[in-house]
Amino acid sequence: MSDNAYHHIPVLLKESIDLLNVKEGGTYVDCTLGGGGHAEAILKGLGVRGQVLGIDTDLEAIEAAKKRLAAHKNIKFVHDNFKNLKKILTEKVDGILLDLGVSSYQIDQASRGFSIREDGPLDMRMDQSLALTAETIINQFGQEELVKIFSEYGEERFSKRIAKAIVVGRATSNIKTTFQLKEIIEKAIPTWKKRESVSRIFQSLRIFINQELDSLKTLLNDAVDCLNPGGRIVVISYHSLEDRIVKQTFRAAKADGKMNLLTKKPLRATEDEISSNPRAKSAKLRAGEII
Ligand SMILES: C[S@@+](CC[C@H](N)C(=O)[O-])C[C@H]1O[C@@H](n2cnc3c(N)ncnc32)[C@H](O)[C@@H]1O
């Protein structure tokens, strides 16, 4: 199996469908449609009367999922940011699923600029109608602003050295590609864990450009009002910044008497799943039920 094929397997699929408690005739929202793997599994459990709403901020993802799920009549596709869920919905639903981050489709396309393994333009926008790209940040933001992004969203301990090296590098000519940026990062740091630092810097840029943490906070705060009593929310996150937000918001909803926690500790993928799908390694799943 190629590395790319690994990416296309939906993470924690059985666990997320079980915890969503997918039942015939129910209505569910997949807020992160991506390649449509989770949505397809929800659709299988729904019967003919159920409904799925599939949301993605990436128009290419919506188009790909439409093709994959063409045989299903009971799914509607919405190109939007999930932070707008409350405005998108006309009535309450029985389940909300979030499988955060970038999809395999986005990573596999070098032209999107998400991959550290393939050279591409410094883009990193999930929604291609956004104006701000990684290239603008890397070439135009001040050194201090770069340090802040790398530290806050990448938790990178060599943020200062890396920001300085970028400012020195761009003085000669603009930094335009992912490999140019990768090389600058690798040369700037004294450690053998260069790959991890590159990943963290790319992660920080992605989170900043797509305002991922703000969207997640808004969605989680609104979710309680979007779900029927007994409705479920399932969130799969891939790094500690996201998981912390999910954990804290769920705990606050429980303290307010609005939610029961279905996962006291986050669920992790089994060794078996990780060996067939390395992306599952960092996945953490938390779920809650509305009272
Ligand atoms: C990990 S993938 C989902 C994969 C999907 N579960 C599957 O089975 O194929 C995450 C998707 O969520 C989308 N996404 C990320 N943040 C979003 C947001 N704030 N609003 C809407 N979609 C978002 C990305 O564009 C990406 O397609």
Tens-place pLDDT, residues 50-72 = 999 999 999 999 999 999 999 99
- Residue 192's pLDDT band, with cuts at 50, 70 and 90, is confident
pLDDT tens per residue across span 195-221: 999 999 999 999 999 999 999 999 999
Pairing of strands 93-99, 27-30: parallel
Q: Do both 123 and 262 map to the same domain?
A: no
Q: Do both 10 and 100 map to the same domain?
A: yes
Q: Do both 205 and 150 map to the same domain?
A: yes
pLDDT tens per residue across span 20-48: 999 999 999 999 999 999 999 999 999 88
Q: Do both 129 and 184 map to the same domain?
A: yes
Pocket test for ligand 1, best of 32, 55, 85 (most atoms within 8 A of CB): 32
Give ∠ CA 162-167-169 in degrees, rounded to 5. Answer: 90
pLDDT of residue 6: 43
Q: Do both 172 and 228 map to the same domain?
A: no
**Structural domain total, the chain:** 2
Q: Do both 138 and 65 map to the same domain?
A: no
pLDDT of residue 5: 41
Residues with CB under 6 A from ligand 1: 10, 32, 34-38, 55-58, 61, 81-83, 99, 101-103, 126, 215
CATH of the domain at 43: 3.40.50.150
pLDDT of residue 2: 37
Average pLDDT for the chain: 95
pLDDT tens per residue across span 114-134: 999 999 999 999 999 999 999
Given a contact cutoff of 8 angstroms between Cβ atoms, the answer to whether 284 and 265 are in contact is no
Q: Do both 63 and 96 map to the same domain?
A: yes
d(CA 4, CA 118): 12
SS3 (DSSP) at 260: strand
Q: How far is the CA of 34 from the centre of ligand 1 (A)?
A: 5
pLDDT of residue 193: 86
pLDDT of residue 260: 98
Q: Which residues sit opposite 260 in a β-bridge?
A: 289
d(CA 141, CA 203): 17
pLDDT tens per residue across span 235-251: 999 999 999 999 999 99
Q: Do both 202 and 272 map to the same domain?
A: no
Boundary of a domain, candidates 210, 235, 263: 210
Q: In 3D, which of 59, 66, 13, 54 has the Cα closest to residue 234?
A: 13
Range name among 5-9, 67-71, 75-79, 155-159 with the lowest pLDDT average: 5-9
Q: How far is the CA of 80 from the centre of ligand 1 (A)?
A: 11
Report the length, in residues, of the chain.
Answer: 291
- Residue 83 DSSP class: G
- Residue 191's pLDDT band, with cuts at 50, 70 and 90, is confident
Q: What number does the ligand 1 atom closest to the CA of 35 have?
A: 9
Boundary of a domain, candidates 210, 230, 250: 210
Pocket test for ligand 1, best of 17, 56, 108 (most atoms within 8 A of CB): 56
Q: How far is the CA of 146 from the centre of ligand 1 (A)?
A: 26
**Is residue 1's pLDDT more than 70?**
no
Q: Do both 148 and 179 map to the same domain?
A: yes
- Give phi and psi for 70, each to the nearest 5: -60, -25
Q: Do both 65 and 116 map to the same domain?
A: no
SS3 (DSSP) at 20: helix
Q: How far is the CA of 143 from the centre of ligand 1 (A)?
A: 31
- Residue 190's pLDDT band, with cuts at 50, 70 and 90, is confident
**Is residue 84's pLDDT more than 70?**
yes
SS (H, E, C) 43-75: HHCCCCCCEEEEEECCHHHHHHHHHHCCCCCCE
Boundary of a domain, candidates 168, 194, 210: 210
Q: In 3D, which of 120, 103, 76, 136 has the Cα closest to residue 4?
A: 103
Expressed as residue numbers, the domain containing 154 is 112-210
pLDDT tens per residue across span 170-187: 999 999 999 999 999 999
Q: Do both 119 and 97 map to the same domain?
A: no
Q: Which residues sit opposite 236 in a β-bridge?
A: 99, 285
Q: How far is the CA of 100 from the centre of ligand 1 (A)?
A: 6
d(CA 184, CA 148): 18
Q: Do both 170 and 49 map to the same domain?
A: no
Q: Which residues sit opposite 121 in a β-bridge?
A: 177
C-alpha 164 chain-centroid distance: 29
pLDDT of residue 279: 87
**Is residue 4's pLDDT more than 70?**
no
**Is residue 149's pLDDT more than 90?**
yes
CATH of the domain at 121: 1.10.150.170
Q: What percent of the chain has a predicted confidence (pLDDT) above 70? A: 98
Q: In terms of DSSP H, where are the helices of the chain?
A: 3-7, 13-20, 37-44, 59-68, 85-88, 104-108, 134-140, 143-154, 159-172, 178-188, 194-210, 212-226, 240-255, 271-276
| Whether pTM exceeds 0.85 | yes
